[in-house]
Amino acid sequence: MPKGLDKIEGDLKKLLPKMKPLTKVEGLKLVKAISSALDTCWDLEEKLVAAITAAREAGNAGTSVSELDKDRGFKAARVLWDKAVAVQKTELAALAKMVVEAKTLLKDLAKLTTLAEKEAKAAAKGSADLKAAEALIKRLAELTKEMTSVTKCEGKLKPAEKFYAMQAKKILDKRIQDAGKGATSEADLPKLLEDAEIKRNALKIKRLYGEVQTACKKGSTLAAKDAKGAASQLKVATQKVKDLQKLVEDYQKARKKCEKDIKEAKNSKELTKQLDGFDKHLKLAQEALEELSNTVEKASA
């Protein structure tokens, strides 16, 4: 092997340990972890709002975290939410680090590819050196493709997944400012129809619906050969449908209560379409669950 190719091989060998943990699979795992962490943040944010309302009703009129922390219920809810936000920040930082490292390695791979292509041009037609150069170029192309796929993982994040943790302080301040204005959950229902809130919950509904479908497909596949595994997927799907139903029913209540406001809203058509979509997702999820339940029942008979 020519000295040029030998050196390129040596340089590539030094890069391989750095590339080993940087894969599309690992990148997508982090994307999923970030999404899951955000769901946890949202769930705990709702409990935080409830805790602020309870603190207000108990006589704490504080407008800052330090003042509201005097209420044990609020402090407990805030600490849990803070921890969830920290987890999401950690997952985001890990993905950002992975993308930066992949971009750096792409530059190194590009340089090695250029050198390998020069070696290929210099090699005699049909020679062993040419075959070695072409094999190296092919390998470099595969590694380049993998590193490129890693850099694209960050682009799969939705805006809320990217910015929630960064805006945590603003979110908390706004929740403290807004929460407790209504004494009951019914009074808060119209907030569900605010643009930011409905976008947030639309993502949640879509995710829950997808998880129901995934569990039902897995359960149906397992039913013929693994009744226990199918039953386990049925259990997962049942819980996801319950979570989905609770959220969609909140919107159905809000829709009934604010029917006139929805009709008069500037985005009435779009809002109605969105709410109809929520109902459809719930109906399809319930149908999929019922179908899986029947399949599991027959398989266990």
Q: Which of 155, 183, 211 is the last residue of a domain?
A: 183
* Secondary structure in 3-state letters for 195-251: HHHHHHHHHHHHHHHHHHHHHHHHHHHHHCCCHHHHHHHHHHHHHHHHHHHHHHHHH
Same domain, 57 and 174: yes
CA gap 42, 53 in Å, rounded: 17
Same domain, 242 and 121: no
- pLDDT confidence band for 103 (50 / 70 / 90): very high
Same domain, 86 and 141: yes
Same domain, 209 and 169: no
**pLDDT digits over 160-185, tens only?**
888 888 889 998 988 888 765 543 33
CA gap 46, 52 in Å, rounded: 10
Burial class of residue 190 (count of CB atoms within 10 Å of its CB; 0-12, 13-18, 19+) = middle
Q: Check residue 86 and give its pLDDT.
A: 96
- pLDDT confidence band for 57 (50 / 70 / 90): confident
| Parent domain of 9 | 1-183
Same domain, 170 and 34: yes
Same domain, 140 and 203: no
Same domain, 194 and 167: no
Same domain, 143 and 213: no
CA gap 300, 253 in Å, rounded: 38
CA gap 15, 200 in Å, rounded: 41
Q: Check residue 87 and give its pLDDT.
A: 96
Across residues 138-162, what is the average pLDDT?
93
Based on the structure, what is the number of domains in the chain? 2
Are 133 and 5 in contact by the 8 Å Cβ rule? The answer is: yes
Q: Check residue 179 and give its pLDDT.
A: 66
Q: Which of 183, 215, 245 is the last residue of a domain?
A: 183
CA gap 139, 153 in Å, rounded: 22
Q: With b meaning 16 or more CB within 10 Å and e meaning fewer, what string describes 72-101?
A: ebbeebbebbbebbebbbebbebbeebbeb
pLDDT at 186 over 70: no
Q: Check residue 1 and give its pLDDT.
A: 59
Q: Check residue 251 and give its pLDDT.
A: 87
Q: Check residue 112 and give its pLDDT.
A: 95
Q: Which of 131, 155, 183 is the last residue of a domain?
A: 183
Which of 43-57, 64-78, 187-201, 220-234 is predicted with the least confidence, judged by mean pLDDT?
187-201
Same domain, 172 and 279: no
Across residues 281-286, what is the average pLDDT?
95
Amino acid letter, 192: L
Across residues 6-35, what is the average pLDDT?
94
Computed over every residue of the chain, the mean pLDDT equals 88
Across residues 254-271, what is the average pLDDT?
79
Same domain, 164 and 37: yes
Same domain, 118 and 17: yes
- pLDDT confidence band for 62 (50 / 70 / 90): confident
Q: Using the Cα atoms of residue 20, residue 21, residue 26 and residue 31 in order, give the sign of their dihedral.
A: negative
Kindly state the helix (H) or strand (E) to which residue 80 belongs, with its residue range.
helix 72-122
Same domain, 256 and 292: yes
pLDDT at 150 over 60: yes
Across residues 227-251, what is the average pLDDT?
91
Q: Check residue 184 and give its pLDDT.
A: 34
- Please report, in angstroms and rounded to a whole number, the separation of the first and last CA atoms in the chain: 67
CA gap 286, 213 in Å, rounded: 10
Amino acid letter, 48: L
pLDDT at 214 over 80: yes
CA gap 80, 163 in Å, rounded: 19
